[in-house]
Amino acid sequence: MATNFAAHSRLMNDYRNLKRDPIPYVVAEPLCGNILEWHYVLQGPEDSPYQGGFYHGRLLFPDNFPFAPPKIEMITPSGRFQTNEFICLSISNMHPESWNPCWTVGTLLCGLLSFMIGNAKTNGTLESTEEEKKKLARESLNFNLSNSQFVELFPDTVNKIRLPPSNYECIDMTFESVHKTVNDFDFDRDLSNDPFIFDDWDSDSDFSM
């Protein structure tokens, strides 16, 4: 099925921006041959129950993106989200009324990570103890390595997982500073080369519902 030109153009632009200016704790790749299906990996921030974990999920974009939001799901068990179930967020397809066409793939994943390390509840979340989350963070490594699609899409992350934790590339950020990363995210940078610019948006929008 041919992809809408606007969706293809916008998503390719988002991809170039993510490659040019990577976001801490976030990587994402579209499927070869289907720009509307993206896979992402969130790395658990330091000083959080998710530290050391790698969380694989999917973004399913509609053909009329960026004028409608994507479906968001997580594949790796985290103790925070139900697996293979769509998550109800203001940046997801479950709340099209709150969607802003200026939000990019980077915006979506920053918002998802911020929501993940918080405690707010919504459809698609789970309740678990901190110890359960830490256990799942450790188990996430082998879980992801058993997924052939993960291994194919994220070879650099696979190499990182296979290293002892003490040898992970150090990112000097803490649990609290992830929220600052979201708040300080340069939305204008992400959209500087995008043909679909809208003026009536709020970069301080709350992603949770």
pLDDT in tens, 103-114: 999 999 999 999
Residue that wins the pLDDT comparison between 26 and 189: 26
CATH number of the domain bearing residue 37: 3.10.110.10
Residue that wins the pLDDT comparison between 166 and 69: 69
With respect to residue 200, please indicate whether it lies within any of the assigned structural domains: no
With respect to residue 198, please indicate whether it lies within any of the assigned structural domains: no
For position 164, what pLDDT does the model report?
61
Task: Answer whether residue 197 shows pLDDT above 90.
Answer: no
* Residue pair 137/44 in contact by the 8 Å Cβ criterion: yes
Percentage above 70 pLDDT, the chain: 77
Token pair belonging to 209: 């519902």
For position 163, what pLDDT does the model report?
78
Query: Residue 90, CB half-sphere, CA atoms under 13 Å: how many?
Result: 15
pLDDT band at 165 (very low <50, low <70, confident <90, very high): low
Q: Looking at residues 123-152, what average pLDDT do you find?
A: 97
* Residue pair 35/7 in contact by the 8 Å Cβ criterion: yes
| Pairing verdict, β 71-74 and 34-43 | unpaired
88 an active-site residue?
A: yes
With respect to residue 202, please indicate whether it lies within any of the assigned structural domains: no
* Residue pair 25/113 in contact by the 8 Å Cβ criterion: yes
- Residue 50 structural domain: 5-191
CA distance 120 to 203: 20
pTM passes above 0.75: yes
Residue with tokens 């678990």: 128
**Domain count along the chain:** 1
With respect to residue 66, please indicate whether it lies within any of the assigned structural domains: yes
With respect to residue 196, please indicate whether it lies within any of the assigned structural domains: no
Q: Which residue in the list 32, 88, 102, 110 is annotated as catalytic?
A: 88
With respect to residue 205, please indicate whether it lies within any of the assigned structural domains: no
With respect to residue 207, please indicate whether it lies within any of the assigned structural domains: no
Task: Answer whether residue 151 shows pLDDT above 50.
Answer: yes
Percentage above 90 pLDDT, the chain: 75
Could you tell me where the DSSP H helices lie in the chain? 5-20, 105-116, 130-145, 148-153, 155-161, 175-183, 187-191
Count other C-beta atoms under 10 Å from residue 110's C-beta: 27
With respect to residue 204, please indicate whether it lies within any of the assigned structural domains: no
